């Protein structure tokens, strides 16, 4: 994700992140809506049957296509801002860590460095974007015809400020900060998997060269879109397998009636355990998997290609598809 000297260009990182956030949200929004409905359901059990029931219920009572895109505006704004800010801070923090290691890519970044950069960037992003996610969660959790439902993002912002004050915009922030570990694990895996794949291609090229085929260069081949597809999917699966419960907690604490239902994060954890058991922490997991894997692949494919295009055409410098940090 950086230039040949190991440093990142903040403009290309931000533009690539914003573009990736918008496109991935447009692709995945209906799955996000179904996942949110499952997460905030405190009565029925989770499962594929429940997912189908919610989809049928939306079609029957809220309409078809348009209903599945309710809350799209805050979702696009939130994801575009999140990815743009995240990649900006992530790149800048990596640059700072390289400086502490002597200022060059040859020193390299460790697993701990990648984890620190990604978790710090995630925490900063969560603090800035949590208000958007509160509005988004409430809009996705109900149909537009439900009593008290927000009809637009601006209306949601106005009502929250009037009824709950500034604190209302930061409901669910604590589990969101817990969720920073998800991004930390994902990006740590993503960076290292890129390097591992690049090493494999380099070794294969050198092996072919040693066998006498002079037409094959011994320089590392750039990673292909297929490489990015599988690397991003695998890194997301690794991170998602251990951090999903925080998403359920965040959704519950951002509901319309969260203030009267849960007194704190620990109270939410306790109530879910008592009333729904372990499965309660994994409600919406199936549609989330369906949503996040294609969404993640789209995000990283768009990000990598946009970043490279921006550098090649606007920054006046060459770019590498992989940085060997």
CATH of the domain at 273: 1.50.40.10
Report if residue 209 sits inside a domain. Answer: no
Does residue 90 have a pLDDT over 60? Answer: yes
The Cα–Cα gap between 222 and 204 comes to: 13
Tokens matching residue 242: 């251990």
Report if residue 158 sits inside a domain. Answer: yes
Tokens matching residue 177: 């900060």
Number of domains in the chain: 1
Report if residue 195 sits inside a domain. Answer: no
Cβ neighbours for 121, distance < 8 A, ≥ 6 positions apart: 85, 86, 87, 89, 90, 93, 183
- Comparing 210 with 65, the larger pLDDT belongs to 65
Q: Dihedral, CA atoms, 184, 186, 188, 194, nearest 10 degrees?
A: -160
Does residue 139 have a pLDDT over 90? Answer: yes
pLDDT reported for residue 317: 52
Find out whether 54 and 34 touch, Cβ atoms under 8 Å: yes
pLDDT reported for residue 160: 96
Q: What is the mean pLDDT of residues 206-235?
A: 70
> 164 pLDDT band (50/70/90 cuts)?
very high
> 107 pLDDT band (50/70/90 cuts)?
low
Find out whether 34 and 287 touch, Cβ atoms under 8 Å: yes
- For the stretch 236-252, pLDDT in tens is 888 877 788 888 998 89
Find out whether 285 and 244 touch, Cβ atoms under 8 Å: yes
Percent of the chain with pLDDT over 90: 27
pTM attached to this predicted model? 0.68
Percent of the chain with pLDDT over 70: 86
Tokens matching residue 210: 């040693």
pLDDT reported for residue 216: 44
Find out whether 103 and 13 touch, Cβ atoms under 8 Å: no
pLDDT reported for residue 151: 93
Q: What is the mean pLDDT of residues 32-39?
A: 87
Report if residue 224 sits inside a domain. Answer: no
Report if residue 257 sits inside a domain. Answer: yes
Report if residue 14 sits inside a domain. Answer: yes
Report if residue 69 sits inside a domain. Answer: yes
Average confidence score pLDDT of the chain = 82
pLDDT reported for residue 153: 95
Q: What is the mean pLDDT of residues 136-159?
A: 93
Q: What is the mean pLDDT of residues 171-193?
A: 87
> 140 pLDDT band (50/70/90 cuts)?
very high
- Comparing 169 with 87, the larger pLDDT belongs to 169
Tokens matching residue 272: 């879910």
Task: Identify the weakest region by mean pLDDT among 151-165, 244-258, 283-297.
Answer: 283-297
Q: What's the Cα-to-Cα distance from 224 to each of 147, 221, 228, rounded to whole Å?
A: 49, 9, 6
Q: Residue 317 has what DSSP assignment?
A: S
Find out whether 243 and 35 touch, Cβ atoms under 8 Å: no
- Comparing 189 with 43, the larger pLDDT belongs to 189
- For the stretch 293-302, pLDDT in tens is 887 888 888 8
Find out whether 11 and 319 touch, Cβ atoms under 8 Å: no
**Cβ atoms within 10 A of the Cβ of 69, count?**
13
Its domain, for residue 66, covers: 10-178+243-291
Find out whether 275 and 283 touch, Cβ atoms under 8 Å: no
Cβ neighbours for 267, distance < 8 A, ≥ 6 positions apart: none
pLDDT reported for residue 53: 86
Task: Identify the weakest region by mean pLDDT among 130-139, 209-218, 305-314.
Answer: 209-218
Report if residue 322 sits inside a domain. Answer: no
Within 162-290, strands assigned E span: none
pLDDT reported for residue 218: 44
- Comparing 64 with 221, the larger pLDDT belongs to 64
Q: What's the Cα-to-Cα distance from 199 to each of 90, 133, 303, rounded to whole Å?
A: 23, 39, 22
Does residue 155 have a pLDDT over 70? Answer: yes
- Comparing 131 with 25, the larger pLDDT belongs to 131
pLDDT reported for residue 130: 95
Burial of 152 (0-12, 13-18, 19+ CB in 10 A): middle
């Amino acid at each position: 994700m950086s230039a040949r000297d190991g440093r990142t260009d903040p403009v290309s990182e931000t533009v690539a992140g914003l573009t990736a956030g918008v496109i991935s949200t447009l692709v995945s929004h209906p799955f996000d809506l179904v996942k949110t409905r499952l997460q905030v359901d405190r009565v029925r059990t989770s499962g594929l049957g429940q997912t189908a029931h919610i989809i049928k219920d939306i079609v029957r009572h809220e309409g078809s296509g348009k209903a599945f895109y309710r809350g799209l505006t805050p979702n696009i704004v939130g994801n575009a801002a999140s990815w743009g800010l995240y990649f900006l801070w992530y790149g800048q923090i990596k640059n700072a860590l390289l400086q502490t290691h002597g200022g060059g890519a040859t020193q390299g970044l460790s697993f701990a460095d990648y984890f620190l950069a990604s978790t710090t960037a995630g925490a900063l992003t969560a603090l800035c974007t949590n208000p958007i996610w509160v509005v988004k969660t409430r809009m996705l959790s109900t149909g537009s015809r439900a009593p008290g439902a927000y009809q637009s993002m601006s209306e949601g912002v106005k009502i929250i400020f009037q009824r709950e004050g500034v604190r209302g915009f930061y409901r669910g922030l604590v589990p969101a900060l817990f969720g920073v570990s998800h991004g930390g694990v994902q990006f740590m895996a993503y960076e290292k998997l890129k390097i591992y794949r690049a090493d494999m291609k380099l070794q294969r090229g050198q092996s072919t060269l040693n066998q006498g085929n002079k037409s094959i260069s011994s320089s590392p081949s750039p990673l292909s879109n297929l490489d990015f597809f599988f690397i991003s999917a695998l890194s997301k699966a690794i991170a998602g397998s251990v951090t999903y419960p925080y998403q359920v907690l965040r959704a519950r604490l951002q509901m319309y009636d969260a203030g009267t239902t849960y007194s704190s994060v620990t109270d939410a954890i306790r109530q879910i355990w008592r009333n729904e058991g372990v499965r309660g922490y994994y409600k919406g997991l199936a549609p989330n998997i369906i949503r996040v894997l294609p969404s993640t692949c789209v995000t990283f494919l768009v990000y990598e290609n946009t970043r490279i295009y921006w550098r090649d055409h606007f920054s006046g410098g060459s770019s590498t598809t992989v940085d060997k940090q």
